[in-house]
Structure 1
């Protein structure tokens, strides 16, 4: 049911597109993904087979190459003449030179076998001299790991990348110890494998291939600058250092790669070498990816052509439905006079004719409702205008009478003539009131009226009345309805000083908030009891349309705010006995409306 509901909510073209995708695109896409995966798998398997064969060939050729130094070392191990030259005691340097000159086997091996590039015999003999073949090992030699390991392994062969101090270069070298005499003294034989022969084995390899010793140092590589480096310096994974013979999947230089490793453990050797070949899956599948991209392009072009055909068929099928839908949209936007003509006697043609009849009936009904609403709106508009004028006119005599009474009482109590200032303030207040119409006035003018009223009241209450007017920046010229703030201030003076000998502080604050302007009139006067506050709130919440002969004070202000700005701008009163009262109202849009 859920699937049917979704399909029913779709447009005709989208339904046909989904059908096309389900029937043609998805099977083709799944088949393409399957064949692509198989092709990549086949390419990788062939490359792996090739690399494995190459690694095996490198291993065999390397094994053949190092057999030469291995055979030479076996001969020299049994060469008593070499041992005697290296270990006998010499009485003079002349005798040493003669012995070295007479022994030519090492030089003969170097000339006869191009697979080696050097032979060194290390033997401690105080009377001997150093030459190219026989060398007295100093501390820099005897402390090296390969030398210690040769002594430790007691004649077994070791293979490492060793520096030839005579040439200041590193070579893959065979090293092993041999007895100098029956006293137990030992020497160490080192034979260098020729670099060119070793490199020529790897030059034909198409993938990065290394020969690595057991210290994880590269003794030969088909990569430029690879020989002599640590295996980890070639941006390979640290895990490769511990891998034995086999094939592995890992990330090399951030690329998915295959690593094939073969071990080479020569005869009579305590350690061996590893041949490591690496190929990137991305490089191997590059050609296959090109074929795949070409296939994707051809398939995409075919699908686009098929999609165009489907789109054309869908357009022919859904064209009349689309015209009917557009006509409905016009009617929804208020164009009731629109008329739709669709050819044909099928369901769509019948639907269009019935829809035209419905539009005509609804149009007639809308005209009737609009006429009724227009008459009702005119009546309400007139009532609101009359109501607003009545509310505004009722305030002026109310506060003027209170002001005059304050001045009269002050003059009666103080019996002084300096009341001229109060009379001037009163005249200003009278003039402002008489000049005020039903329109809006600047906030500065309304606050000036409030200031005049408060100054007049200070003649009566003196230091018992203090006030503060605060206006936010840029709000002085804001347009507000007249007599909105002054009645609230008057209410704060009258009720705030009620039975309160210590006086009252009145604060008027006008500030801008996110959606308009907020006006606060607060005092620290006597406050209102909970019952009185509830009664005032109930009176303010009553309908603006209630008929009363007099509306003054809070109710008058509240009704005008509600008529002008809506219920959200009505007065909000908070009061607590002995603490004071705060009256707040809100003008949306900064009073510009």
Structure 2
């Protein structure tokens, strides 16, 4: 019992200090020293093995592709039909194409593309009677290319060329300008009179994708003596020229390995990797668990003693708080200690004395105020809806439309149908909020009606930014401003005009802009209009002569909980610009919870 009183009288700060020293500081120091020392050595060894496996896979994949190309080139070199086709002296184009067709039918050249990562295979010859095209070209067409000069200068029968092909720079994704080509002389049947060789272009992107599939926490670079040929950098633009090998700081490489590709010497470099402690612990999980069990024993004893100081009094408080939930407010009596929990119990007793007053006076009055506010807003909405719910004769409009169709007055019938749809939507208040894409459809229908009226005098422009289509706004709100632009803007000018509607958004707000090139308004009229629309509310409807824009602004302002920002700018003879801003956090988006 004595130890309980001692612990109860300790400040929570002192209790936490005890917990920290015995349950955190000492175990962490011991555990970190033991675990990290053992894991570092283990991880370094495993990482070295893993990196060697990565380099071995890369070497195997590249060498396999190049050796496959060498095998293809060797088959073509010993193909008697191909050799005869390349050296034959053709007397006419017809004779060439006939022999060309026969050669391809009796040769598997076209099947090599499917079995290997090959972009194209081209056979070159200095036979002047060959017609350039397909897989056969004359050597005189590539005499000026750098890769051909390097091949001739090397003097080798098999040569691996790496170069940047400017001709492929503007072609499709499959034709990367970075090119790796295997070149082999076709001299198996040759008497030395005619030069022939085959050039096989590997699919650079396919080989790069294999390297990207190596998921390591580091950078991989594959280089020859001059260039960085491949890397696992996703952001690297393979349509640019090869990076010079001299620009790569190879001293930063943790691992490297040299290997031979055809006639060339390549090197793999792997830059430093980040080894996370989580990964280290996972790889030595069994040892970590043993240490955790040891570290739990001492903290458990101390925490058990201290927790008894908390648990009894906390449970007592829980009991009394449950009574508070049942609206039973009773004081906690007896010895509660001198620490912070004791102070908390004393504060609870003070709270019990005040809580009835809070519930009966403040809370109830606030609830009545909120109910009154909700009722007022509901009444305002109903009043607004009643003003934009005129009753139209749909049957009469349908009769007129059918009459127009019978008389083959299709344009008039379309206008009547558009008007009927707009009126039906204005009468339907089952859901006052619709998506912007639906609202734009109504605006476009209204635009067709105005085009019927004004002809070429009026034109419309609509832009809805991607991602804005499903944002909900009060129904027919944009239509109201477009209608105002037609009547008070375009109708007042003799020249042609345009009305533009643009809807955009950023991370926080959606913006609705309506502009017209109409007659505009004077500075005095603009000032008065701004004053009326500055604080849109239901009381101003009875004071304002033109309620169209005010009505729409009130509905939009109520919809976004009085956070709407409105601005209008106009110049006499130049037109009018309207901007409406609503926070995305205050409005609904179809398919998302508000």
Shorter chain as denominator, the TM-score bin is: 0.3 to 0.5
Q: Rg larger in 1 or in 2?
A: 1
Q: TM-score, normalised by structure 2?
A: 0.40
Q: TM-score, normalised by structure 1?
A: 0.41
